[in-house]
Amino acid sequence: MTTQVQALYDFTGEPNTTEMSITCGEILTLVNTEIGEGWWEGKNAKGETGLFPAAYVRKLAPDESIQTKAAPAAPRYDQATDDWGDQQFSAGDSNFQRGTSHEDGWDDDWDDDTYSEIGPVPQKSNAQQQQQYNQQLTPLPGMPISDYNHHVEETASNYGSSVGTVRKNKFAPSSKVSGESYLLATLNVEVRDSEKVYIVQEEDRYEWWPITQPYTVTVASPKKESKFKGIKSFIAYQLTPSFNNIQVSRRYKHFDWLHERLQEKFTLIPIPPLPDKQISGRYDEQLIERRRVQLQEFVDWMCRHPVLSKCEVWQHFLTCTDEKRWKAGKRQAERDPLIGLNYCISIVVPEKALLQSQVDHITEQCHMFITSMDTSVKSVSSMCIAHTKKLQGPYKADCQKVGEAFCSLAASLSLDEGSLASTSKLTTAIKMTGSAYIDMGRMYDEHPKYDWEPLGDKFHLYKGVVGGFPDVLGTHKSAVQKKRECERLTAENKMEIAQLNEVLRRTDVVSYALVAEINHFKAERTKDLNATMQKFLRQQIHFYKKIVDKLETTLKYYDDE
Amino acid sequence: MTTQVQALYDFTGEPNTTEMSITCGEILTLVNTEIGEGWWEGKNAKGETGLFPAAYVRKLAPDESIQTKAAPAAPRYDQATDDWGDQQFSAGDSNFQRGTSHEDGWDDDWDDDTYSEIGPVPQKSNAQQQQQYNQQLTPLPGMPISDYNHHVEETASNYGSSVGTVRKNKFAPSSKVSGESYLLATLNVEVRDSEKVYIVQEEDRYEWWPITQPYTVTVASPKKESKFKGIKSFIAYQLTPSFNNIQVSRRYKHFDWLHERLQEKFTLIPIPPLPDKQISGRYDEQLIERRRVQLQEFVDWMCRHPVLSKCEVWQHFLTCTDEKRWKAGKRQAERDPLIGLNYCISIVVPEKALLQSQVDHITEQCHMFITSMDTSVKSVSSMCIAHTKKLQGPYKADCQKVGEAFCSLAASLSLDEGSLASTSKLTTAIKMTGSAYIDMGRMYDEHPKYDWEPLGDKFHLYKGVVGGFPDVLGTHKSAVQKKRECERLTAENKMEIAQLNEVLRRTDVVSYALVAEINHFKAERTKDLNATMQKFLRQQIHFYKKIVDKLETTLKYYDDE
């Protein structure tokens, strides 16, 4: 039996490959769904046959004729990304065979996700692997073991009548998804209870359902690992979640891949940033350590977020130790249909409809706050970097110049004292004073890692989170605009009231999510900044006390007056 | 009755004035000794009449024919210097009449000694004034009241036969005096007991006879004074010696004049320096205060020196409150014949002859030490200036940038908290943290006056004292060379043994003085640097403790974690 699919978006095939261009709305006949890697083969009306992303089309029911307009980004042909599981777990992998030998230093952490093959590399279906992954997936803390074998083409919805279906296990659309399919209720996916995210009212606030079983993840001192018998080496960070105490090894590019998935999926939740590529460090060790600290900040923020801490791709990232499951989970995450506003289908909100005026007030307030906060956190962040540089540069040098001047004075005085043995108490004391200031110079150099650098790392995180809010607000604003458009259409009798009601309900879900996230951010930053500032101040106090101690010790070398 | 004088030195009269050039050895007939200001009028062999410095000639006994070779510097025609007593004590003085109106700001402290009249301004004899001054001179502590009416032409000496005489109360020769007249015993002046300076053996060291009645002098916060009904203003420093508790008012130029006298007189004692003209200060008050502190350092050093603390010109400077006595004392000091090596005639040393090899060892040691010390004290001194500038410039600014970043963060956070009244504890705490760092910036700006500036002032003093030693060593070296020349002359039978013995004895006095001064400097700096460094360290400790306090106070604003 032939199956027909309709293109949901335009896709431009790479010329001179097996790819085929398809146009939004175009009807194609499926030829082969076993291509793998998210590709299907089909035949168009002209009789041409070629590959296109499975996620760009939907299987047609005989009477269907709905068109969607927004197009996700083209799937990424990032072979390096795709087979990083191999790089992680095996030597002599396909990368090596393809001679991608520029991955030969720890610094490739930053680079080796940038190279790509032209065109997709069709692979065998990963159905079995995927099955295996789903069965072995580590259960999340506080969540029942989920069955990830989503019922394809199942159209039952929590929110109303089925208007269309989206297949799971396809290439994921990008974060550019406008959310129309969700808002206009053309998207309906059955979401298992385990995947549902609840927003609850707590006193006068709407909040994400709080974390019931908190956990932490430590990012341990990174190790330099190598492969290809030592030809290539890279830095792997050791992550150990508190809920299972099983260490996993992750490279920066794994984090990077995760970050991309999270950003695609959560358009209403600002994702904490990864380490700054501009981290400066004179030694590899310092640089790697700074990245570790910033990764720890990222991980901590993830663990403390009620929604992010539970999400599947994150859990997969935290727990997977098997290469095959890793690859399977990776592909699954990349084909996750519940990304962008579509994710909202997982969100269960209070029955109460929101007052648009209240929502407007909250978003305006948030916009004003975030605009100001963005400037402030950037200013604290860059101040920390600049101040650290000053402490390790001129402050250190100045202190040592002071020390050297005293040392030279002591050396001169000793010239008037004959042999070394007869060095006077004063000369010794002045020499010790010189040494003390030289030591203090070293303290200026070393101490930022306890105060200014952690503060800077924290504000690097805030810079990322705060910087994510304008997009969140923008996404919400578009949803509200779409809602208003539908209200107008209904007023003009161009949309049925039943459909409008579903649009209103879904827009409310978006607004609830925004409000919950705003409240989460406020609660989180209050607790977090309080701890951060105290830790910073305690370290500053410790530093100046150490200086006082050093000077007091030095003072004792002098004769009592 | 005509009196004849013989020129002791060459003097070149200013052309087109009443001055007359005289040549060493030339015989002149005295015409008028009542010119005043140290000038006499005379007639030369050609019948020309003119003025010459009284100090450049000596009255001839009928059978005398001795010539001296070394010439003192020409007397200084510094009218401003000469009548500064007037400026000090009276308004509407002759300066005003002469229209020297560039003295119109406090800064003229540095400038107003630089203008001068062309040619001497003959004045009436100051004999009466001088008499008055001598009678009213405040007795020094630990010294009997001295009768300063020196017996002119008295040739009795403590050390041997009279070979020549030098009149007191004439224009003073400059510090360029080679000392030959002293070493070759052509100089013999009666020195009263009260003026004698003793060198004694203390354990294995030769020392200046220690101060028996120590005193201190405070240099109080300077006052801006004015004269000519406010047209001109200047800064006067208030000096109060502890031995009489009578305040005197002295301007910088008075210090400058004193310093010049001391340098002329004590070629074997490095004179502490006056304030650095390069003192930087953004405000008049700060600049004036720095000068006060450096003047206090100068004064302290003077008070602690066994020889300097007792010397006549210094005591005059410290105690004179009467204008007429001031001028008289000033002229007397300028005519002091016991300057340069001639001062050694006042020094009483142990009977024991010094071993030249020992003296050589001490001077070599001193030379090596001083060369190194010169570099060190300069380095500490310039380090203090540079470090102060950094603390008051970039360190202050950096600290304030930190504070401003925190303040801006607090301001942003408060935007999310509605009214000011509802500002959260965290926001308040962060704001207080910002303020604390801004305050710390101010502390960086203000504290150098308690640690780095006093340290710099102390090392400014050492820079001057240490910098004076090469000249002292040079003076001593010349004396030793002269001694060796005389030994050769005696070996060649060109000098009598009796005269050589006197030369040897006098050279030993010079060496004793050098050794005593080296020992004094060592003892003084050991005590002084010990106190200085401790004071500095205590202030540094105080500063860092204040920072710790401030940070600890700030920490209390935060909620307990």
CA distances from B220 to A167, B196, B248, B290, B292 (A): 91, 32, 10, 12, 7
What is the model's pLDDT at position B63?
62
Q: Which segments within A146-305 are labelled E, that is strand?
A: 197-202, 205-208, 217-227, 232-241, 248-251
Q: What is the dihedral of CA B503, B504, B508, B514, to 10 degrees?
A: 60
**Regions of chain B where pLDDT drops below 70:** 1, 37, 62-179, 187-188, 226-233, 278-283, 418-422, 561
Q: Choose among A166, A148, A131, A152: nearest CA to A328.
A: A131
Query: Is the same domain home to A274 and A343?
Result: yes
Question: What is the average pLDDT across A116-124?
Answer: 33
How distant is the Cα of B301 from the closest Cα of chain A, in angstroms?
18
Q: Between β-strands B232-241 and B248-251, what pairing exists: parallel, antiparallel or unpaired?
A: antiparallel
Q: Are A206 and A515 in contact (CB under 8 A)?
A: yes
Q: In angstroms, what is the C-alpha Rg of chain B? A: 29
Q: Which segments within B184-339 are labelled E, that is strand?
A: 197-202, 205-208, 217-227, 232-241, 248-251
Q: Choose among B381, B372, B348: nearest CA to B512.
A: B348
What is the model's pLDDT at position B373?
96
How distant is the Cα of A16 from the closest Cα of chain B, in angstroms?
55
Spatial separation of the C-alpha atoms in residues B184 and B505, rounded to whole Å: 10
- Burial, A76: exposed, middle or buried (Cβ in 10 Å; 0-12, 13-18, 19+)? middle
Report the half-sphere exposure of B201 (CA within 13 A, side-chain side): 7
Query: Is the same domain home to B341 and B406?
Result: no
Residue type, B524: E
Q: Choose among A294, A327, A288: nearest CA to A87.
A: A327
Exposure string over A178-191, b if 16+ CB within 10 A, otherwise e: bbbbbbbbbbbbeb
Last residue of a domain, which of B348, B373, B391? B348
CA distances from B514 to A433, B70, B270, B332, B482 (A): 31, 22, 10, 27, 16
What is the model's pLDDT at position B554?
96
Q: Is the ipTM of this complex over 0.90?
A: no
What is the model's pLDDT at position A561?
59
* Assigned token pair, B27: 């015989």
Q: What is the mean pLDDT of chain A?
A: 78
% residues pLDDT > 70 (chain B)? 74
Range B316-321 contact pairs with CB under 8 angstroms and sequence separation of 24 or more: B316/B137, B317/B248, B317/B250, B317/B254, B317/B258, B318/B217, B318/B239, B318/B241, B318/B248, B319/B137, B319/B138, B319/B241, B319/B244, B319/B246, B319/B248, B320/B138, B320/B248, B321/B246, B321/B248
> Which residues are CB-contacts of B384 (< 8 A; sequence separation ≥ 6)?
B452, B453, B455, B456, B459
Report the half-sphere exposure of A289 (CA within 13 A, side-chain side): 10
How distant is the Cα of A544 from the closest Cα of chain B, in angstroms?
6
Question: Around Cβ B212, how many Cβ atoms within 10 Å?
Answer: 10
Spatial separation of the C-alpha atoms in residues A202 and A515, rounded to whole Å: 12
Q: Where would I find the H helices in B345-451?
A: 356-390, 396-415, 425-446
What is the model's pLDDT at position B14?
75
Task: Please indicate whether, in this complex, the C-beta atoms of B530 and A559 are within 8 angstroms of each other.
Answer: yes
Q: Which residue of A lies nearest to B362 if distances are taken between CA atoms?
A: A416
Query: Is the same domain home to A552 and A414?
Result: yes
Supply the DSSP symbol for B391: I
> Which residues are CB-contacts of A516 (< 8 A; sequence separation ≥ 6)?
A199, A206, A207, A208
- Residue B354 in domain: no
Count of residues for chain A? 561
Task: Please indicate whether, in this complex, the C-beta atoms of B411 and A544 are within 8 angstroms of each other.
Answer: no
Q: Are B171 and B9 in contact (CB under 8 A)?
A: no
Q: What is the pLDDT of residues A456-467, one digit of tens each?
A: 999 999 999 999
Task: Please indicate whether, in this complex, the C-beta atoms of A412 and B376 are within 8 angstroms of each other.
Answer: yes
> Which residues are CB-contacts of B371 (< 8 A; sequence separation ≥ 6)?
none
Chain A interface mutation, best of B366, B438, B551, highest count of A Cβ atoms under 10 Å: B551
Task: Please indicate whether, in this complex, the C-beta atoms of A415 and B541 are within 8 angstroms of each other.
Answer: no
Q: In angstroms, what is the C-alpha Rg of chain A? A: 29
Report the half-sphere exposure of A249 (CA within 13 A, side-chain side): 15
Q: How many domains does chain A have?
A: 3
Is the pLDDT confidence value at A80 over 60?
A: no
Q: Choose among B391, B438, B436: nearest CA to B540.
A: B391
Query: Is the same domain home to A13 and A81?
Result: no
Which residues of chain A have a CB within 8 Å of the CB of B531?
561
Q: Are B533 and A430 in contact (CB under 8 A)?
A: yes
Question: What is the average pLDDT across A252-273?
Answer: 94
Task: Please indicate whether, in this complex, the C-beta atoms of B375 and A408 are within 8 angstroms of each other.
Answer: yes
Q: What is the pLDDT of residues A293-302, one digit of tens each?
A: 999 999 999 9
Across the interface, of B372, B429, B547, the residue whose CB is closest to A533 is B429
How distant is the Cα of A340 from the closest Cα of chain B, in angstroms?
27
Which residues of chain A have a CB within 8 Å of the CB of B430?
529, 533
Q: Where would I find the H helices in A305-395?
A: 312-319, 323-334, 356-390
User: Can you say which residues of B are annotated as belonging to the binding site?
Assistant: 251, 253, 291
- Give the 3-state DSSP-derived string for A409-422, with helices as H, strands as E and coil as C: HHHHHHHCCCCHHH
Report the half-sphere exposure of A279 (CA within 13 A, side-chain side): 26
Query: Is the same domain home to A136 and A35?
Result: no
Spatial separation of the C-alpha atoms in residues B190 and A537, rounded to whole Å: 74
3-state class of B162 per DSSP?
Answer: coil
Q: Are A219 and A295 in contact (CB under 8 A)?
A: yes
Chain A interface mutation, best of B366, B396, B412, highest count of A Cβ atoms under 10 Å: B412
Which residues of chain A have a CB within 8 Å of the CB of B429?
530, 533
Task: Please indicate whether, in this complex, the C-beta atoms of B548 and A541 are within 8 angstroms of each other.
Answer: yes
Q: How confident is the model at residue A176 (pLDDT cuts 50, 70, 90)?
A: very low
How far apart, in Å, do the first and last CA atoms of chain A sit? Answer: 105
Query: Is the same domain home to A54 and A114?
Result: no
Report the half-sphere exposure of B16 (CA within 13 A, side-chain side): 1
3-state class of A54 per DSSP?
Answer: helix
Say which CATH number the domain at A479 has. 1.20.1270.60
> Which residues are CB-contacts of A97 (< 8 A; sequence separation ≥ 6)?
none
How distant is the Cα of A526 from the closest Cα of chain B, in angstroms?
7
Q: How confident is the model at residue A278 (pLDDT cuts 50, 70, 90)?
A: low
Task: Please indicate whether, in this complex, the C-beta atoms of B416 and A552 are within 8 angstroms of each other.
Answer: no
- Residue B80 in domain: yes
Partners of residue B347 on adjacent β-strands: B197
What are the two backbone dihedrals, phi and then psi, of residue A8, each rounded to the nearest 5 degrees?
Answer: -90, -25
Task: Please indicate whether, in this complex, the C-beta atoms of A379 and B405 are within 8 angstroms of each other.
Answer: yes
Task: Please indicate whether, in this complex, the C-beta atoms of A412 and B375 are within 8 angstroms of each other.
Answer: yes
- Is A196 assigned a ligand-binding role in the annotation? no
Chain A interface mutation, best of B363, B372, B385, highest count of A Cβ atoms under 10 Å: B372
Say which CATH number the domain at A23 has. 2.30.30.40
Spatial separation of the C-alpha atoms in residues B395 and B392, rounded to whole Å: 6
Query: Is the same domain home to A208 and A222?
Result: yes
Q: Choose among B325, B321, B354, B317: nearest CA to B510.
A: B354
Last residue of a domain, which of A348, A382, A400? A348
Query: Is the same domain home to A480 and A528?
Result: yes
Task: Please indicate whether, in this complex, the C-beta atoms of A426 and B534 are within 8 angstroms of each other.
Answer: no
Q: Choose among B300, B310, B299, B298: nearest CA to B211.
A: B310
3-state class of A552 per DSSP?
Answer: helix
Last residue of a domain, which of B59, B80, B105? B59
Q: Are B250 and B314 in contact (CB under 8 A)?
A: no
Query: Is the same domain home to A208 and A72?
Result: yes
Q: Are B171 and B336 in contact (CB under 8 A)?
A: no
Query: Is the same domain home to B394 and B518?
Result: yes
Across the interface, of A365, A366, A409, the residue whose CB is closest to B380 is A409
Q: Choose among B511, B528, B512, B509: nearest CA to B465.
A: B528
* Assigned token pair, A494: 């161009």
Range of the domain at B44: 4-59
What is the model's pLDDT at position A549?
97
Query: Residue written as tokens 């209870």?
Result: A193
Q: Are A84 and A103 in contact (CB under 8 A)?
A: no
Q: What is the pLDDT of residues A388-441, one digit of tens each?
A: 999 999 999 999 999 999 999 999 999 988 665 667 899 999 999 999 999 999
Partners of residue B232 on adjacent β-strands: B227
Q: Are A113 and A253 in contact (CB under 8 A)?
A: yes
What is the model's pLDDT at position B112?
38
Query: Is the same domain home to B244 and B338?
Result: yes
Q: What is the pLDDT of residues A205-248, one digit of tens each?
A: 899 999 999 999 999 977 777 666 666 667 889 999 999 999 99
Across the interface, of A387, A531, A537, the residue whose CB is closest to B555 is A537
Q: What is the pLDDT of residues A299-342, one digit of tens each?
A: 999 999 999 999 999 999 999 999 999 999 999 999 888 888 88
Across the interface, of B406, B544, B559, the residue whose CB is closest to A551 is B544
Q: How confident is the model at residue A279 (pLDDT cuts 50, 70, 90)?
A: low
Q: What is the pLDDT of residues A134-155, one digit of tens each?
A: 333 333 343 333 333 333 333 3
Chain B interface mutation, best of A408, A423, A455, A461, highest count of B Cβ atoms under 10 Å: A408
- Burial, B351: exposed, middle or buried (Cβ in 10 Å; 0-12, 13-18, 19+)? exposed
Query: Is the same domain home to B164 and B113?
Result: yes
Which residues of chain A have a CB within 8 Å of the CB of B408?
375-376, 379-380
Spatial separation of the C-alpha atoms in residues A531 and A297, rounded to whole Å: 13
Spatial separation of the C-alpha atoms in residues B67 and B27, rounded to whole Å: 11
What is the model's pLDDT at position B489?
94
Q: Are A123 and A39 in contact (CB under 8 A)?
A: no
Which residues of chain B have a CB within 8 Å of the CB of A530?
426, 429, 558-559, 561
